[in-house]
């Protein structure tokens, strides 16, 4: 979730912002310099934008909503027509803004020339662009967030994330191989920015000095988020090879994508709580969202608890003893919150799980 806050820039914040932005830097290693120059040129970006804009984009958003609605069709009164229309309109506005931004933020000549060497210029360019994109989209995303908070229905956030996932897939089908490489980081950013508090994690670092134990821990772990998510996901597949939700088995591509994305979301909330020295973000935001998903997609609550346990074990295995002592209180509180929620939901442990 986004939240309005005073964006104080300190060396620690700048450091975390740069690490966060690295998640969305395009991987140009498989392309020749000529291919990159051609695909990333203003002309090519304009053609990509024109191909996806307006009628095609509007149709993709509407088709994605139909797919989202079908996924949740077994739930009575999912969202009324007015709410559904607002979500679709919101998605259209987000993608329209994204494409406008994409068109006008071409890779610099220096970045292109160094793309095949070390990629440093591409990384620096990516950091700048992602931070600018976050601020460009913030007004639109805040409006959506205010709408779903006003309705007091956390399902709308879950539906929005699903809709963005489906829309990204539909857009992806219309892209050339070169366009996919350049545009995929933007699409990934959109899907994550709606539900993940990475930006808030970065600004929560404002009260820490560079080199302080808490800051160093987050600085060390932030770049490994995808690696940790993949490791936990592989453990889940091994432990639960026959597990299925309404979206399918764990090995199906859509479920794999959603699992890794959501494991990243859990990590973002853990680091936010750690830097803020408060479990409120998990208790007030992540936990209600998980309840909605469990009830909406047919996931057993024991799966969520196992998910937390494996994630905690994987994170702890990557820190030193001093860092472990700092982190364990937050890990234990997170696990306790999910354990207590099972009782409130009236679930009884499934011994066959």
- Where residue 328 sits, what CATH number does that domain have? 1.10.490.20
How far CA 127 is from CA of 20, 80, 107, in Å, comes to: 8, 39, 12
Quick one: which of 174, 175, 179, 173 has its CA closest to 40?
Answer: 179
Boundary residue ending a domain (147, 162, 195)? 195
The top-scoring range by mean pLDDT among 53-57, 60-64, 165-169, 265-269 is: 265-269
Q: Coil, helix or strand for 179?
A: helix
Residue of higher predicted confidence among 273 and 146: 273
Look up residue 175 and give its DSSP letter.
S
Verify that 186 and 56 share a domain, yes or no.
Answer: yes
Are residues 179 and 208 both part of a single domain? no
pLDDT at 353: 43
Of the segments 118-127, 132-141, 332-341, which one has the largest average pLDDT value? Answer: 332-341
Rounded CA separation 286/280 (Å): 9
Question: Considering 136, 170, 195, which residue would you say is the last residue of a domain?
Answer: 195
Residue 233's pLDDT band, with cuts at 50, 70 and 90, is: very high
Say how far apart CA 40 and CA 32 lie, in whole Å.
12
157 lies in the same domain as 258:
no
Residue 282 has pLDDT above 90, yes or no: yes
Three state DSSP letters for 170-202: HHHCCCCHHHHHHHHHHHHHHHHHHHCCHHHHH
Q: pLDDT digits over 83-131, tens only? A: 667 777 888 888 888 888 888 876 554 455 454 444 455 566 666 677 7
| 134 occurs within a structural domain | yes
Do 190 and 202 lie in one domain? The reply is no
Kindly state whether residues 40 and 64 are assigned to the same domain. yes
Last residue of a domain, one of 195, 223, 238: 195
* 311: three-class secondary structure by DSSP: helix
3-state secondary structure 28-94: CCCCCHHHHHHHCCHHHHHHHHHHHCCHHHHHHHHHHHHHHHHHCCCCCCCCCHHHHHHHHHHHHHH
Helix pair angle (55-71, 155-172), 10° resolution: 130
Judged by DSSP in three states, 151 sits in coil
**Residue 62: inside a domain:** yes
pLDDT band for position 15 (cuts 50, 70, 90): very high
- If asked whether residues 319 and 285 sit together in one domain, one would say yes
pLDDT: which is higher, 114 or 8: 8
Residues 297 and 324 in one domain: yes
Do 233 and 309 fall within a single domain?
A: yes
Residues 245 and 210 in one domain: yes
Which segment of 12-21, 81-90, 220-229, 304-313 scores lowest on mean pLDDT? 81-90
pLDDT at 220: 97
Average pLDDT over residues 256-281: 95
In a domain, 2, yes or no: no
Structural domain range at position 270: 198-353
What mean pLDDT is predicted for residues 251-271?
91
Rounded CA gap, 2 and 100, in Å?
22
Instruction: Clarify whether residues 226 and 184 are in a common domain.
Output: no
Residue 13 has pLDDT above 70, yes or no: yes
Asked whether residue 11 is domain-assigned, the answer is: yes
Residues 353 and 235 in one domain: yes
- 182: confidence class by pLDDT, cuts 50, 70, 90: confident
pLDDT digits (tens, 9 = 90+) for 34-85: 777 787 788 888 999 988 876 677 777 777 767 776 666 555 555 565 666 7
DSSP for residue 322: H
Same domain, 235 and 140: no
pLDDT of residue 109: 47
Residue 325 pLDDT: 97
Q: Comparing 316 with 81, which gets the higher pLDDT?
A: 316
Q: Residue 350 above 80 pLDDT?
A: no
Domain count within the chain: 2
Average pLDDT of every residue of the chain: 81
Residue in 236, 245, 302, 304 with CA at minimum distance from that of residue 71: 245
Single pTM value for the model:
0.86
């Amino acid at each position: 979730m986004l939240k309005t806050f005073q964006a104080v820039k300190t060396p620690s914040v700048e450091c975390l912002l740069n690490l966060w932005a690295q998640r969305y830097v395009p991987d140009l290693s498989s392309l020749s310099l000529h291919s990159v120059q051609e695909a990333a040129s203003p002309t090519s970006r304009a053609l990509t934008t024109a191909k996806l804009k307006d009628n095609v984009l509007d149709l993709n958003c509407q088709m994605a909503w139909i797919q989202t609605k079908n996924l949740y069709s077994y739930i009575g009164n999912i969202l009324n027509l007015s709410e559904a229309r607002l979500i679709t309109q919101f998605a259209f506005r987000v993608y329209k803004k994204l494409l406008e931004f994409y068109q006008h933020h071409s890779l610099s000549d220096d970045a292109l020339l160094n793309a095949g060497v070390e990629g440093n210029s591409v990384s620096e360019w990516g950091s700048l662009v992602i931070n600018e994109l976050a601020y460009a989209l913030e007004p639109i995303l805040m409006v959506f967030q205010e709408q779903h908070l006003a309705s007091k229905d956390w399902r709308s956030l879950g539906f929005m994330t699903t809709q963005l996932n489906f829309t990204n897939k539909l857009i992806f089908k219309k892209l050339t191989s070169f366009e996919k490489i350049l545009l995929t980081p933007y699409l990934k950013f959109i899907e994550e920015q709606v539900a993940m508090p990475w930006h808030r994690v970065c600004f929560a670092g404002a009260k820490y000095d560079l080199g302080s134990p808490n800051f160093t821990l987050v600085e060390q772990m932030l770049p490994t988020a995808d690696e940790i998510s993949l490791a936990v996901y592989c453990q889940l597949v091994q432990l639960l090879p026959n597990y299925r939700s309404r979206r399918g088995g764990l090995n199906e591509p859509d479920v794999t994508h959603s699992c890794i994305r959501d494991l990243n979301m859990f990590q973002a909330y853990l680091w936010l709580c750690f830097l803020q020295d408060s479990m409120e973000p998990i208790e007030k935001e992540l936990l209600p969202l998980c309840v909605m998903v469990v009830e909406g997609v047919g996931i057993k609550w024991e799966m969520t608890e196992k998910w937390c346990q494996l994630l905690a074990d994987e994170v702890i295995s990557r820190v030193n003893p001093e860092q472990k002592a700092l982190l364990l209180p937050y890990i234990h509180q997170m696990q306790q919150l999910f354990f207590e929620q099972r009782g409130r939901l009236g679930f009884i442990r499934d011994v066959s799980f």
